[in-house]
Amino acid sequence: MKKIAHWSVAAAALLALPALAQTSLTVVNFGGANGAAQKKAYFEPFEKTGVAKIVGVEYNGEQAKIKAMVETKKISWDVVEVESPDVNRGCDEGLFEKLDYSRIGNKADFQPAAVHECGIGVFVWSTVMAYNGDKLKDAPKNWADFWDVKKYPGKRGLRKGARYNLEFALMADGVKSADVYKELATKAGADRAFKKLTELKPSIQWWEAGAQPPQFLVAGDVTMTTAYNGRIDAAQREGKNLKISWTGGIYDLDYWTIVKGSPNKDAALKFIAFASSPDAQAEYARNISYGPTNNKALAKLDAKVLDLLPTSPANSRDALQFNIKFWADAGEELEKRFASWAAQ
């Protein structure tokens, strides 16, 4: 009888294993201030619904990892936050599940750019010009000021890559934000952007991780830098007197995707629906200054929070939307040219 009892307990435990596996959902993001805000606004409240326990993972946007999982059918990630070029590329390559919007929300409630067949916008963020208010009293007003090392001596922080820098270079050279991609699409425009970058090259200090620009500013390593607005917001919340110049900022969206073949697709859709709700997105925006993609979230935010978002009327007045199609078509060639230029 004891053996039967032991066998029954063991069998029950084995039968319970798949159920236990289903309760764990791996959600991947870029960490940092964004990861902390997601934990508070999305992970912890979602876990209280009892649908699944969230296992948070940080990464640097390595699409190759997702591709390897899908090709080997060894899926260890479920929901992944990806940047806009990657949602397109990954969708084309069959790395992501097609989303069932009937289980997420009304498409009309979201910003048009947030709705994609393989992903839904998590938030709107912006790459902006930032400086230290304790060290620079005369605020820079535009990208021409960023390039003016005589008026504003010192190093300039730039993300190491062609994206954003070519657009900023053209704006520094007098191109209106509305005309940037039209100009950059021509050979003469690309040449013009690289020529302008070359002017600044002796003063450039490259950054590769989002945490670096605020560190550079606080340490006094650079006079100005490009930065993700949320990273500057996080530093401000820590008491650092860092400032943003919003003129000519480039805004973009990150997207939730579900890895193709995820065994937890049902729970993944429930998580994405939860994180896309107005209440959850409003709570996220209170914790980091990234704009909600669900327009109904805006009504839940007070003026103080709204004024800090990339989507506020004042901050987006001269903003440029990152052109996914342009970079999907021309990005590989421009990034190769940039790598060669940077190495010279």
| Tens digits of residue pLDDT in 81-140 | 999 989 988 999 999 999 999 999 999 999 999 999 999 999 999 999 999 999 998 999
Residues 21 and 116 in one domain: yes
Residues 320 and 310 in one domain: no
| Residue-wise pLDDT tens digits, 167-225 | 999 999 999 999 999 999 999 999 999 999 999 999 999 999 899 999 999 999 999 99
- pLDDT-derived band of residue 4, with 50, 70 and 90 as boundaries? very low
We report the CATH number of the domain holding residue 229 as: 3.40.190.10
Count of structural domains, the chain: 2
Residues 259 and 330 in one domain: no
Q: What angle do CA 135, 164, 258 make, to 5 degrees?
A: 115
Residues 81 and 221 in one domain: no
Residues 135 and 207 in one domain: yes
pTM > 0.75: yes
Q: Which residues contact residue 7 at a Cβ distance below 8 angstroms, ignoring those fewer than 6 apart? A: none
Residues 206 and 324 in one domain: yes
Q: Which two tokens mark 103? A: 């289980």
- pLDDT-derived band of residue 328, with 50, 70 and 90 as boundaries? confident
Q: Domain limits at 293?
A: 2-124+253-314
Q: Using alpha carbons, list the distances in angstroms from residue 316 to 17, 127, 230, 282, 342.
A: 50, 12, 15, 19, 31
Amino acid at 185: A
Are residues 253 and 110 in contact, defined by beta-carbon separation less than 8 angstroms? no
Instruction: Report the distance separating Cα 102 and Cα 23, nearest Å.
Output: 23
Q: Which of 11-20, 23-32, 61-70 has the weakest average pLDDT? A: 11-20
Residues 72 and 153 in one domain: no
Residues 107 and 152 in one domain: no
For strand 224-228 and strand 119-132, is the pairing parallel, antiparallel, or unpaired?
antiparallel
Residue closest to 86 by CA, chosen among 78, 99, 95, 77: 95
Q: Which residues contact residue 333 at a Cβ distance below 8 angstroms, ignoring those fewer than 6 apart? A: none
Q: Which two tokens mark 41? A: 């606004």
Residues 33 and 177 in one domain: no
Residues 303 and 339 in one domain: no
Residues 171 and 183 in one domain: yes
Residues 321 and 180 in one domain: yes
